[in-house]
Chains A and B, each alone.
Chain A
Amino acid sequence: MSVLIFLDHADGHVRKASLEAASYGAAIAKVSGTDAEAVILGTVSEDLTLLGKYGIKKIHTVSNASLNQLDAQLYTKVIADVVTATGANVIIFSNNLVGKAVAPRLSVRLKAGLVTGAVALPDLSSGFVVKKNVFSGKAFANVSINTPVKIISLNPNSFSITTGEGVAAVSELNVTVDAPKVTVTATNKVEGEVPLTEAEIVVSGGRGLKGPENWALVTDLAKALGAATACSRPVADIHWRPHHEHVGQTGIAIAPNLYIAIGISGAIQHLAGVNRSKTIVVINKDPEAPFFKAADYGIVGDAFEVVPKITEAVKKLKGI
């Protein structure tokens, strides 16, 4: 018996969301008196033994090049074989793009109950109950997994990365990898950006910024804070900003430590995507903007005057 963590990687490096999953899995292993092991697919450039500091004892690699692209069917078969080989009975994913594609398939293949979007460690006092977000961040459900093998996918930014001492043993598993049925023909992505779901701080702009030419207001503050940038739905719809920056009910749901909303009124559909943020700052000239009700800090004022001053104060504080 053991806990198996699926580690997702981008450009050869293990993702932050996966390190959270590793810390989460290691915590479950500890209370269950078992070991945390991990599986990583495709080509990775970093020294995996160092991941021992997150509490992982053993890392199983399957470095077949077909696995460098996500084919959910292929990934599922390989991970299922690793589960069989390790005898794992708790499997942890991050609830990110790969986790969303693979965890449900694995649940069926292993007949293992799945909870997606977990936000806390399982409660083992009566069975195996996992708290997850429901109703787009407006509530939690405590879901009982009633099968011997259990799968959890952890929401990014819901569990702190914990580090200690330790070196992981890394070994290649000999697993049959079928030919992929899905071919990636093109990839179009901005390099070097922090993925929105993993960002600690997000600065977001809305229609209150009046036009794409004013976006330096948002990007300058984001740069000073080391933050990712986002936008509201109308801004993406009128193409001021790319669609992958849209946060909200129909866009990306995020839970950063700090969310700064500039010129966004805070419609309920926008809140549904950002209400899990730990601290919310709202800057809006309309004191009646509904967003202030969901905010921790607010400034009722003109963003064009207020935001540059905030950016300067951040730079001063950080000595930039």
Chain B
Amino acid sequence: MKMLVCISKTPDTTAKIAFADNNTKFAGDGVQWIINPYDEWYALVRAIELKEADTSSVIHLVTVGGADCDPIIRKALALGGDEAIRVNADSHDSYFIASQIAAVAKEGNYDLIFTGKETIDYNGSSIGGMLAELLDLPYLSLAIKLDVQGSNATVVREIDGGEETNQAAMPLVVSCQKGMAEQRIPNMKGIMGARSKPLKVLEPAAVEPLTSIASFDLPPAKAGVKLISPDQPEELVRLLHEEARIF
């Protein structure tokens, strides 16, 4: 089985969110960068588990970004990818990014293409769906379980208040979230091995983005907490009713 895992570089979950250049760009200086958690913990680790069950499988990684993505790609290779492809372009437009990945996917003839459910920076939740449409493949979004039997995949997806089991023939695109797998830490053998695994850099295909970011804003600061005495919790109900007017 041939698998492609899409990975993205995002600021660490605890990074301070600030903007530069007149609020047009994320202030990334001094920020710790990580593999987008959904891509790493769920998509990549599940692909690795499937490879462990069928050792003839191959895992390719793909990312769209500049050379500053290489450390996170090496980490993903250390966890278990076989080889990586980086499309050398920087964009915040999901259509542009998905089109670059689709070009890679068309070359590779993959049975399964994994994405995370969203990136924790732009929260688009769009790459998987766009990729599936560009490749004319079924798309199973927000998956919490994935199993493979022969040429078919069984995917459990989250629905409101529960879950739903789906079956489809591969190839297909699946977006992964919590439940799919558990986070792993790369071991020394993996880290050493990752150094010699192939990382191919491709120049981007010519694609016109459909959207552009005009500016960023930060939400207004909270006024501060109003503390209520634990001896008079009824006061909270009064405030919610009369001041916040919630009920």
Contact = CB atoms under 8 A, between A and B. Distances in A.
Interface residues of A, number: 96
B166 A310 contact: no
Interface in A77-120: 95-97, 100-109, 111-117
A169 interface: no
Contacts of A114: 94-95, 126, 210-211
Contacts of A186: 164-165
Contact of B132 (A72, A131, A312): A72
B125 interface: yes
B210 A243 contact: no
Nearest to B126: A104
Which of B120, B121, B154, B225: most chain A CB closer than 10 A?
B225
A142 B37 contact: no
Given A114-B126, A136-B123, A281-B236, A183 B230 contact: no
B29 to A, nearest CB: 16
A108 B210 CA distance: 10
Main secondary structure of the interface of A (DSSP, over half): mixed
B239 A189 contact: no
Nearest to B217: A140
A116 B122 CA distance: 10
Contact of A146 (B211, B227, B247): B211
B133 A76 contact: yes
Interface in B154-200: 154, 158-169, 177-179
A292 B225 contact: yes
B17 A138 contact: yes
A145 B164 CA distance: 34
A234 to B, nearest CB: 13
Contacts of B160: 10, 96-97, 189, 193, 195-198
B59 interface: no
B214 A142 contact: yes
A56 to B, nearest CB: 23
B121 to A, nearest CB: 6
Contacts of A100: 125, 129, 141-142
B144 A302 contact: no
A283 to B, nearest CB: 8
Contacts of A112: 210
A113 B95 contact: yes
Given A182-B140, A182-B166, A190-B161, A134 B219 contact: no
B214 A144 contact: yes
B212 to A, nearest CB: 5
B53 interface: no
Nearest to B136: A73
A4 to B, nearest CB: 18
A246 B158 CA distance: 12
Contacts of A134: 121-123, 216
A177 to B, nearest CB: 15
Contacts of B238: 313
Contact of A107 (B130, B140, B229): B130
B124 to A, nearest CB: 5
A297 B239 contact: yes
Interface of B: 11, 13-14, 17, 19, 37-38, 41, 94-95, 98, 120-130, 132-134, 136-142, 144, 154, 158-169, 177-179, 209-219, 222-223, 225-230, 233-234, 236-241, 244, 246-247
5 contacts: A97-B141, A142-B213, A182-B166, A188-B164, A306-B233
- Lowest 8 CB-CB distances: which A-B pairs, in order? A301-B230, A189-B162, A104-B129, A113-B210, A195-B160, A108-B133, A105-B133, A104-B126
Given A133-B123, A144-B211, 18 more contacts: A71-B138, A72-B139, A96-B160, A100-B125, A104-B127, A105-B139, A142-B216, A144-B213, A182-B166, A189-B164, A225-B247, A249-B37, A258-B240, A269-B13, A281-B236, A297-B239, A314-B247, A317-B237
